[in-house]
Amino acid sequence: MAAARRAVLRGGAQGELTVRAWLTALALAVLPLVVYWPTISHEYGFRDDYAHLREVRERPGWLIELTTSSGRPVYGYALDASLRSIHEVPQLKMLRVVGTLLMGVFGVLLWWQLRRSGWREEESAALAAAVTLLPGAQVVVAWAIAWPIALALVGAVAGFALIDRGLERGGWKRATLVAAGGVLYFAAGLTYQTSALFAVMPLAAVLLLRHGTSARSDLKWVLAHLGTLFMALFVGFLLMNVMFAEGVVQEMARMRLEPHPFIKLLWFFRNPVPNSLALFALRDSYATPFWFWLVVAAVVVVTLLGFLFGAKDVGQRRRWLFAALFLPFVAHSVSLAASSQAIGYRTLLPLSGLFLVLFAFGLRATFARFRLQRIAAMAAFAAFTLVGAVLAHQHALTLIAEPQGREWRLIAEAVNGLTLSSDTRVYIVRPTTDYRSTERIYADEYGSLSADAQWAAVEMFRAAMRQRFPRGLPEGMRYTLTTSLSPPIMQFDFVLDLRRLRTLGDRRNPTASPR
């Protein structure tokens, strides 16, 4: 009977591909482009961008080797191929466009899966849109060389959809669809391991709406999904270890297993969990605003309301508890297992997506409990999406694109005005975080600097020189470049003080100019 009910639900969802549904899909596809266009079209790079522009030409295959050493060979091949058509920093926007378009595809696939699973049209659209607006998605879009992460996210959702279809069928169709989904998981894991784990988000969304199924049935369904996911990731892990053992590439330290699991769990609850629970709100490395914790508290309260109002029987309570208490560890399992404590938002998308589903389920259950009209629910989900879009637009532009653009502009303008001789000596005073141009900063993503690192400052200067002299330096002209965090103690032909950044942006303060 439950199977028949689900079949009717699927048939209704698939049969409702009306004009409104197609318009919804179109809106989800273009939403990232609209929200992130100022960021996409801004002229800037993000530290590794500058180096990779040179390395793909001067060191063929090195980029693939670098990413493979982190267990991401597909990432390397995709990135290497895409960078070969990019020659100058302004052209990096092409890769940002690719990443943004893929995020649109990702949103459409997720919406289609959610509406098919029983979520209402407005709920499915809001959830799919919100995922593309999360801080992790902002970083993927804003960092040109991160576009393969979006590709892996598409593979994860498509893989889940195929496996879910396969589990509803029998015989060779089931085996074929499950195997195809496993292949997509495998490819996603070898692109960016944490992106493959995003399958946990639609898994939780479907699980929370399962009705009339036994504990045994739920267990078999969950094990089939998670078993396929982790089998694919494990095969990828074994493949990479064979390559490391055979000396094909050198293993990065992050590929080793975490030797201190209890310390890692403490880190998990202090960093990834609250950062993900905050949804669109951003943390700060130095002064996290109080409202960040208010958002975390509000999301927790609404999530608990989902248990109080939405879990009406033993089976529903069991499913909710499993999603809320066990799946967070699954969603962040790769980072928990790896011997690193990366706090970047780009690794948090699976965990943020899971908490987003629990939050939406809480809203849904609350609306149903108080019998609010559907128009009120639609307005609430629309307002939630609008807030996410405004914050995503603002954060990506003002905390990533603009500050990185200021650094690039200072170096590019200096290079364009530089008078070269047979031995021009250039000195760059690199900025520390105290001289950043934004008030807010978090990890190496939001409000961070590129030129504070010696290698990045050199690569930025080289990229500007290549842009000025695409055919190489004029005959007889050369330069030597020195960088430091302190002013020079001897005479140089040209000195570029990047500490001027502090007088720009939202930290503009004439009394704080570098001396």
Provide the residue ranges of all domains of the chain, joining segments of one domain with +: 2-398, 400-512
Whole-Å CA distances, 132 to 162, 214, 256, 312, 347: 21, 34, 31, 31, 14
Q: Which one-letter amino acid corresponds to residue 227? A: G
Q: Give the SS3 label for residue 338.
A: strand
Whether the pLDDT of residue 255 is over 80: the answer is no
Q: Can you name the residues that pair with 495 across neighbouring β-strands?
A: 427
The predicted-structure confidence for 201-233, as pLDDT tens digits, reads as follows 999 999 999 988 899 999 999 999 999 999 999
Q: Give the SS3 label for residue 347.
A: helix
- 513 closest CA partner among 440, 437, 451, 456: 437
The counts of H helices and E strands in the chain are: 23, 3
CB within 8 A of 311, min separation 6: which ones? 317, 319, 320
Residue 16 confidence class, pLDDT cut points 50, 70, 90: low
Task: Please check whether residue 154 is in contact with residue 100, taking contact to mean a CB–CB distance below 8 angstroms.
Answer: no
Q: Give the SS3 label for residue 418.
A: coil
Average pLDDT, the chain: 92
- Exposure string (b/e) for 41-80, b if CB count within 10 Å is 16 or more? ebbbbbbbbbbbbebbeeeeeebbebbbbbbbbbbbbbbb
Question: pTM to 2 decimals?
Answer: 0.93
The Cα–Cα gap between 222 and 203 comes to 8
The predicted-structure confidence for 126-164, as pLDDT tens digits, reads as follows 999 999 999 999 999 999 999 999 999 999 999 999 999
Residue 258 confidence class, pLDDT cut points 50, 70, 90: confident
Mean local confidence (pLDDT), 479-498: 95
The Cα–Cα gap between 160 and 376 comes to 31
Q: Is 58 left (phi over 0), alpha (psi -120 to 50) or beta?
A: alpha
Whether the pLDDT of residue 360 is over 60: the answer is yes
Q: Is 212 left (phi over 0), alpha (psi -120 to 50) or beta?
A: left
The Cα–Cα gap between 383 and 389 comes to 10
